[in-house]
Amino acid sequence: MASGVSRRATLGLGLAVSIAPLLFAAYACDGSGGRPGVDSASETPDDDSDASVSVPALDGAAPEPVDPCAQIVRPSADCVHPPVTAECDGGWCRIPKGCFIIGSPPCEPTRGLYDEDQAQVTLTHDFEIQQTEMTQAAWEEVGLVNPSTVVEAGTFYPGQEAYGDCLGPTCPVGNITLEEAMSGANALSLRAGLPECYSLDECTNAVGSGLSCGAIQATTSSVYECRGYRLPTESEWEYAARAGTTTPFFAGEIAPLKSSTECAHDPVLEEIAWYCINSGGYSHPVAGKGANGWGLFDTSGNVAEWTTTQYTWAGHGQKPKVDPTPTVATKQVLFRGGAAHLWSTLARSASRSQDLDHGKRSPVLGARYVRTLFP
């Protein structure tokens, strides 16, 4: 797709990226985004102050403008992120427990105005995560029907281009509902002799045909306590995707855009992701682009990835959190990571998107599984 052409913010029928991430922040931005190592203010302002706010001057000197690109949230002294090294084996990577800042600083270009506020998050458990998105071969190996598909041109609105899932054993599985993603986790657990993490009842349709269930819950009081395979919480997903970075992409800054929905070339994203400029509108075989520091591929672009966290317009809140969102959401469920047919702003590590119509599914919406590692 040619640079400068924007796409509608949709993954498919009933699945839309939230409006908030598509809004520019009400701050003057110089395009530098969140910079690692920038000293940060100690508190988040109570209002939507912009770059015109000034620090009182001494001796009658001109006031110094507040740097809107400084991180608002400063990690506390006991918030320690572990060294980032790739410890991967057999398609799974170990992620050590630690503390990080979720969300984006107020001057990250194209950030969500209200839903990406920064907060300190501590994860108290090590976990392993799939090095790539769940492939179609791996999906079929655990006995599940592969629903990956494409959407023909003009299906949703005039001028809409065709998009969808590539088809092949190393392509990521797509077009799965939340319940189908959970069924995939349960299938992995059963094959490994581990307990299932999800209870799915009052269901209609089968896996591969749009499985939808009226009663969904975790089999443990906290998803972190389950010993089987499961979908990540939003915090686990962003912790793994960032790999210790604070920039829009784990590989660096986002290129300037004319609008938040512009499909434009991004030299940093080009090296790590399949997105609207280079994908042709379709997902690609996994691990075709560069990995992050943990050794994970395709955390930006290719297919969006389900979590079990509910979307909130108010974002993450400002208070420090420990092992947040331990229960399973059943509506407005977040998926993360952008998608092959969408623009660069949605591939940022902090970008958040939600399922607006529970039970629907879409091409380029898949899964990457995790498992808590117990001592």
Does residue 84 belong to any structural domain of this protein? yes
Pairing relation of β-strands 198-204 and 212-218? Answer: antiparallel
Rounded CA-CA distance 62/47 in Å is: 24
Strands 119-123 and 321-322: parallel
User: What is each CA distance from 298 to 74, 118, 275, 283, 291, in whole angstroms?
Assistant: 28, 23, 10, 10, 7
Q: In DSSP terms, which residues pair with 120 in a beta bridge?
A: 101
Distance of CA 193 to the CA centre of its chain: 29
> 372: which residues sit within 8 A by CB, 6+ positions away?
125, 126, 127, 224, 225, 226, 227
Q: pLDDT tens, 134-156?
A: 999 999 999 999 999 999 999 88
Q: Which residues neighbour 285 within 8 Å (Cβ) at sequence distance 6 or greater?
A: 166, 168, 170, 171
- pLDDT at residue number 353: 95
pLDDT at 8: 34
The answer to the question of residue 47 being in a domain is no
Closest Cα to residue 104, out of 242, 296, 276?
Answer: 242
Residue 61 lies in a domain: no
- The per-residue pLDDT for 60 is 55
Sign of CA dihedral 334, 358, 367, 188: positive
Inside any domain, residue 129:
yes
Amino acid code (one letter) for 362:
S
* pLDDT at site 318: 85
The reply to whether 139 falls in a domain is yes
Q: Residue range 363-368: average pLDDT?
A: 97
**Any domain includes 46:** no
Interatomic CA distance for residues 308 and 329, integer angstroms: 6
Burial of 52 (0-12, 13-18, 19+ CB in 10 A): exposed
Phi-psi region of 116 (alpha: psi -120 to 50; beta: other; left: phi over 0): alpha
The beta strand positions in 52-178, using DSSP E, are 54-55, 64-65, 88-89, 92-95, 98-102, 119-123, 126-130, 150-151, 163-164
Give how far the C-alpha of residue 257 lies from the chain's centroid of Cα atoms, to the nearest Å: 20
pLDDT at 321 over 80: yes
With respect to residue 85, please indicate whether it lies within any of the assigned structural domains: yes
Tokens of 252: 């660096």
What is d(CA 167, CA 282) in angstroms, rounded to the nearest whole number? 10
Q: Rounded to an integer, what distance in angstroms lies between the CA atom of residue 15 and that of residue 24? A: 22
More confident residue, 213 or 28: 213
CATH code assigned at 155: 3.90.1580.10
Q: HSE-up of 56 (CA within 13 Å, CB side)?
A: 2
Comparing CA positions, the residue from 370, 12, 318 lying closest to residue 160 is 12
What distances in angstroms separate CA 215 from CA 203, 220, 270, 300, 325, one per listed residue?
8, 15, 41, 31, 18
Number of domains within the chain:
1
Q: The domain containing residue 98 runs over which residues?
A: 1-40+67-375
Is residue 1 over pLDDT 50?
no
User: What confidence tens digit (pLDDT) does each residue in 182-201 have?
Assistant: 999 999 999 999 999 999 99
The tokens for 370 are 């995790």
141: left (phi over 0), alpha (psi -120 to 50) or beta: alpha
Whether the CB-CB separation of 111 and 25 falls below 8 Å is answered with yes
Sequence letter at residue 343: W
Would 45 be classed as within a structural domain?
no
Determine the 3-state secondary structure of 269 from DSSP. helix
Q: Among residues of the chain, what percentage have pLDDT more than 70? A: 81
What integer is the mean pLDDT of 26-45? 31
